[in-house]
Amino acid sequence: MEYTIIRRYKFNGLEDNVSIQKTAKTLKEAITYTTALKTLETNKAVEFNILINIEDAFKYVNEPLILDKEVA
């Protein structure tokens, strides 16, 4: 699954300005990139979001859960 990190600049009373910052192959990578971007950003009107394709999400949700360890 591919994760897209976007930068959203919120304008007062206008539509948000959205731009793609980075793509990641794993959720861990996406969280790492997002955390780094948030750390470097000083503008309070900017936020970073992680997006996934809805079709990828359905594939992920519909995969069977395989338990490999016994839960007590």
What pLDDT is recorded for position 35?
Answer: 94
What pLDDT is recorded for position 56?
Answer: 72
pLDDT digits (tens, 9 = 90+) for 14-56: 888 999 999 999 889 999 999 999 999 999 999 999 998 877 7
What pLDDT is recorded for position 34?
Answer: 95
**pLDDT exceeds 80 at position 3:** yes
Q: Nearest 5°: phi and psi at 57?
A: -65, -40
**pLDDT exceeds 70 at position 60:** no
What pLDDT is recorded for position 65?
Answer: 65
What gap in Å lies between CA 5 and CA 52, rounded to an integer?
9
